[in-house]
């Protein structure tokens, strides 16, 4: 169970606020699907180990269900990762 | 006003930092701090010692500095992780940043320790204990790792206090408390008392810090000279040094390296010296200083140390010049016994713009070499240290800029996942 790097389309506003808009995820058959991020429930800045990260909790619609996902933006490396649910 | 000094010490720094990284940045499930684990160097490169251990590992008797094989004998299921110096730098920087929000005067003592002068800050964050707990909790909540904080009216007592029960605790050790909290401790726990001092003190019948504090100062002076005065003062909680937030300029620049194989021929040794000279001189040029004294040190396969130094005609920071001096010193010093570790150390440091006595015959060569070094520095600054290397190192066994933290220790090769 590790954080998985993903492709994301995001917008930046004049104040430098980041908003993820679309995310591309791979399904069980290894096909890529682009999902629209319906809404952002909250965002939180973290700095564990001195590494600045912005955590977003958002909803996407997948197979007619609203699914909650957590994605993180690593500020210094400009990467986005999907936080996989721990079972 | 009474002084209030804090000493902040990260608990099991390298191990805790790696634990936080794996938990929060890589998303791994287990917390290294909760299992017997340690940060250890690479056995194959002859760096196989324990650099940091977790609290569960400590219970098995594993100590920092033990060899990996010794540690595994004590704890066979010890989980070991490689060093990650880039991460440690980031964690250290983030820690100091938070401390600077609490105190106007922060002295970084090492990568995982710092002193804060909190005198007069009662109005900002409350009394010392309240502020220290706030600091400790802020560090844990924001950065994810725990620290111990020692509080007192001077640096030595604050440093001793932070070493009491761990982890994640605040301790005070004000002068009125030293009899109760410090004097019962064994004498080797006192700052500046090492194994040699400890042995001598034991032979004098001094086993606790309290006994040391009450010993006649003349006796201590007779056996330890100046050092005796220092340990006497510390045992009595006397320390007048201030928290310095500006580091004093370096008095010497040196680098050494333990080579992965035994070196038994002069030309390979001189290659290692060249890579050390590259490293030392780039640091000298980076700080705009030059050195006049060059020393070479050798540790052979029997762990015997020897060194030899010389004074240069004029100060320099040119790689070729320092290397030439180092090779001359090496030829005069080496007795042909195979070598394990080599070092170059420079001292008698002066600012770069001081006068240089140019030898009449070397004049052109000096200017050319100086420009070459400057150009190489600029390329490395822009494109990375490895973007330009001296041809002799191509396909060779030796890294082109030895010494300090080698590239493999900066970032471990994680088997899968990100970063």
Q: State whether B418 and A50 contact (CB < 8 Å).
A: no
Flag whether pLDDT at A87 surpasses 60: no
Find the helix or strand (DSSP H, E) in which B310 lies.
strand B305-316
Q: Stretch A18-44: mean pLDDT, rounded?
A: 92
Residue B112 in marked binding region: yes
CA quadruple B42, B91, B54, B418: dihedral positive or negative?
negative
- When pLDDT is cut at 50, 70 and 90, the band that residue B298 belongs to is very high
pLDDT per residue as tens digits for the range B171-207: 999 999 998 999 999 998 898 888 888 898 899 888 9
Interface residue B25 vs chain A (CB under 8 A): yes
Q: What is the mean pLDDT of chain B?
A: 91
In a domain, B176, yes or no: no
How many structural domains comprise chain B? 3
In a domain, B21, yes or no: yes
pLDDT at B417: 54
In a domain, B416, yes or no: no
pTM above 0.95, yes or no: no
B316 and B389 in one domain? yes
Instruction: Give one DSSP letter per residue of B25-66, joined into a string.
Output: IS--S--GGGSSEEEE--GGGT--BEEEE-HHHHHTT--TT-
B142 and B119 in one domain? yes
Q: What is the domain extent for residue B223? A: 182-235
Chain B nearest C-alpha distance from A34 (Å): 21
In a domain, B9, yes or no: yes
Flag whether pLDDT at B419 surpasses 60: no
In a domain, B223, yes or no: yes
Chain A nearest C-alpha distance from B399 (Å): 27
Percent of chain B with pLDDT over 70: 96
- When pLDDT is cut at 50, 70 and 90, the band that residue B253 belongs to is very high
Q: What is the domain extent for residue A8? A: 4-83
Place of tokens 């973007």: B387
pLDDT at B358: 67
pLDDT at B247: 87
Q: Which of A49, A51, A74, A75 to mutate to test the interface with B (most CBs of B within 10 A)?
A: A49
Chain A nearest C-alpha distance from B250 (Å): 27
Structure tokens at B110: 């090492």
**Measured distance CA(B419)–CA(B18) in Å, rounded:** 13
Q: Last residue of some domain: B135, B150, B171?
A: B171
B258 and B229 in one domain? no
Q: Stretch B151-167: mean pLDDT, rounded?
A: 94
B10 and B100 in one domain? yes
3-state SS, residue A53: strand
Q: What is the mean pLDDT of chain A?
A: 90
Taking any CB pair shorter than 8 Å as contact, residues of chain A touching chain B are: 1-5, 46-51, 53, 74, 77, 79, 81, 83-84, 86
Q: Which residues of A touch B87 (CB under 8 A)?
A: 49-50
Q: Stretch A28-41: mean pLDDT, rounded?
A: 92
In a domain, B247, yes or no: no
**Measured distance CA(B71)–CA(B57) in Å, rounded:** 9
Flag whether pLDDT at B45 surpasses 80: no
How many structural domains comprise chain A? 1
B22 and B134 in one domain? yes
Q: Last residue of some domain: B127, B152, B171?
A: B171
B129 and B30 in one domain? yes
B19 and B143 in one domain? yes
Lowest-pLDDT range, B119-123, B141-145, B378-382?
B119-123
pLDDT per residue as tens digits for the range B342-384: 999 999 999 887 666 666 666 667 788 999 999 999 999 999 9
Greater model confidence, B46 or B257: B257
The radius of gyration of chain B's CA atoms, rounded to the nearest angstrom, is 24
């Amino acid at each position: 169970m590790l954080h998985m790097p993903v492709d994301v389309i995001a917008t930046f506003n004049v104040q430098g606020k980041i908003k993820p808009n679309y995310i591309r995820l791979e399904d069980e058959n290894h096909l890529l699907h682009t999902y629209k991020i319906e809404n952002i429930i909250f965002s939180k800045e973290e700095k564990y180990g001195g590494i600045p990260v912005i955590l977003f909790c958002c909803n996407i619609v997948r197979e007619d269900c609203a699914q909650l996902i957590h994605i993180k933006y690593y500020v210094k490396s400009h990467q986005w990762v999907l936080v996989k649910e721990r079972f | 006003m009474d002084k209030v000094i804090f000493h902040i010490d990260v608990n099991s720094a390298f191990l805790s930092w790696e634990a936080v990284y794996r938990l929060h940045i890589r998303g791994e499930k287990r917390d290294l701090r909760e299992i017997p684990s340690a940060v250890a160097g690479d056995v194959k490169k002859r760096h196989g010692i324990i650099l940091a251990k977790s609290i569960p590992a400590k219970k098995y008797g594993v100590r920092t500095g033990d060899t990996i094989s010794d540690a595994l004998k004590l704890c066979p299921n010890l989980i070991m992780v490689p060093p990650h110096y880039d991460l440690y730098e980031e964690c250290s920087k983030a820690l100091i940043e938070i401390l600077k929000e609490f105190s106007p005067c922060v002295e970084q003592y090492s990568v995982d320790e710092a002193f804060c002068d909190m005198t007069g800050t009662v109005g900002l964050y409350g009394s010392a204990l309240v502020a220290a707990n706030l600091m400790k909790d802020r560090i844990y909540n924001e950065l994810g790792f725990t620290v111990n904080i020692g509080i007192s009216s001077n640096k030595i007592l604050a440093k001793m206090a932070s070493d009491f029960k761990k982890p994640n605790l605040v301790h005070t050790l004000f002068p009125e408390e030293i009899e109760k909290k410090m004097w019962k401790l064994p004498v080797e726990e006192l700052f500046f008392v090492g194994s040699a001092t400890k042995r001598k003190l034991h032979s004098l019948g001094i086993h606790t810090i309290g006994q040391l504090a009450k010993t006649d100062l003349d006796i201590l002076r007779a056996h330890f000279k100046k050092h005796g005065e220092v340990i006497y003062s510390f045992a009595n909680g006397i320390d007048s040094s201030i928290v310095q937030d500006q580091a004093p300029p370096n008095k010497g620049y040196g680098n050494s390296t333990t080579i992965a194989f035994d070196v038994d021929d002069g030309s390979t040794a001189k290659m290692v010296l060249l890579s050390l000279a590259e490293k030392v001189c780039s640091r000298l040029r980076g700080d705009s200083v030059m050195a006049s004294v060059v020393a070479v040190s050798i540790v052979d396969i029997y762990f015997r140390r020897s060194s030899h130094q010389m004074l240069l005609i004029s100060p320099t920071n040119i790689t070729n010049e320092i290397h030439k001096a180092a090779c001359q010193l090496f030829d005069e010093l080496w007795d042909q016994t195979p070598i394990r570790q080599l070092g170059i150390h420079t001292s008698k440091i002066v600012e770069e713009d001081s006068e240089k006595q140019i030898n009449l015959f070397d004049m052109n060569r000096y200017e050319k070499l100086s420009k070459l070094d400057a150009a190489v520095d600029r390329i490395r600054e822009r494109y990375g240290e490895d973007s330009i290397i001296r041809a002799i190192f191509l396909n060779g066994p030796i890294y082109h800029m030895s010494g300090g933290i080698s590239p493999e220790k900066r970032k471990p090769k994680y088997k899968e996942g990100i970063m």
